[in-house]
Amino acid sequence: MLGIGSWTYGWAVGVNGYPAPDRPLTAIGLLERARAFGVPLTQFADNLPLDRLSEDELACLRQRAQEWHIAIELGTRGFEPARLLRYLELARYFDAKIVRTIPHGTDGEPNLREIEAWLRDLLPEYRAAGVVIAIENYERHSAVCLAALVDRLDSEWVGVCLDTVNSMGALETPKEVVRTLGPYVVNLHIKDFRIERVPSKMGYVVQGCVAGEGRLDVPWLLKELERYGRRPNRILELWTPYQQSVAETIALEEEWARRSIRYLQQLA
């Protein structure tokens, strides 16, 4: 299933350290974008956290999702038990099957052994609810270390949310990451990219681009995951570069989202 997420629209939601959008994208607004694109899935991640919404806002979001036949996935950051239990409550509320998280949160940076201990305690409750914890690869831990963590937990209720660019910060290419994490993937972030020299020619920048127009071989990616027996939900994410203003950047982000979704729908 193809969907969009709150990191499809990072600039429209708002980015720390930059001017705020005149009208920041809301949870309902993101759901409306999914409906307009005709995609049946929306992932609300840590930049648009649903645990901060009021009961009325949550009820409205659930009602609209049901009316429009759009499935919801949840996302947060960190592994603190209280946080993951709250997101399990929200998963039950929205009938969500995935809670995606990343190995560092706002409450510190636990090591992988601490994360493992917390998850062992939490997995029985996630199993009972039929919800999978999807750990996203990130530059702070190698793909091999993340695979080893999932191996040690040895549960169908924990797996990997594979992001196609994040691990480049750990000097790991998409092919290396897929080779290592492919067997564990339960969720997929499709994020295309370009690598370009800086004007001085002394160095490179990794920069986002429209899906299908960069260095990421999306058809290969999907076929390779199928080879591992994996057909995860696919969430478009964008690293849209900042333009002359937030308004211009949001406009470019919207254009990139439209072009990316059109391309990905052709691969369905």
Does 11 have pLDDT greater than 70? yes
Structure tokens at 43: 């992932």
- What is the distance between the alpha carbons of residues 265 and 268, in angstroms, rounded to a whole number? 5
pLDDT of amino acid 37: 98
Residue type, 144: V
DSSP string of 75-135?
E-----HHHHHHHHHHHHHHT-SEEEE-S-BTTB---HHHHHHHHHHHHHHHHHHT-EEEE
> What's the start-to-end Cα distance of the chain, in Å?
8
Domains and CATH numbers, the chain: 2-266 (3.20.20.150)
pLDDT of amino acid 111: 86
- What is the distance between the alpha carbons of residues 82 and 134, in angstroms, rounded to a whole number? 17
The per-residue pLDDT of the chain, averaged, comes to 96
Question: What confidence tens digit (pLDDT) does each residue in 32-74 have?
Answer: 999 999 999 999 999 999 999 999 999 999 999 999 999 999 9
pLDDT of amino acid 210: 98
- What is the distance between the alpha carbons of residues 187 and 267, in angstroms, rounded to a whole number? 17
pLDDT of amino acid 124: 97
Query: Using alpha carbons only, what angle is made at residue 128 by residues 185 and 180, rounded to the nearest 5 degrees?
Result: 15
Backbone angles phi, psi at 207, to 5 degrees: -135, 145
- What is the distance between the alpha carbons of residues 69 and 191, in angstroms, rounded to a whole number? 25
Structure tokens at 45: 């991640």
Which distant-in-sequence residues (6+ apart) come within 8 Å of 221 by Cβ? 164, 174, 178, 188, 190
In the three-class reduction of DSSP (H, G, I as helix; E, B as strand; rest coil), residue 176 is classed as helix
pLDDT of amino acid 107: 58
Q: Which whole number is the average pLDDT over 168-184?
A: 96
Percent of the chain with pLDDT over 70: 98
Structure tokens at 215: 């260095």
pLDDT of amino acid 170: 92
pLDDT of amino acid 219: 98
Question: What confidence tens digit (pLDDT) does each residue in 80-112 have?
Answer: 999 999 999 999 999 999 999 998 766 567 888
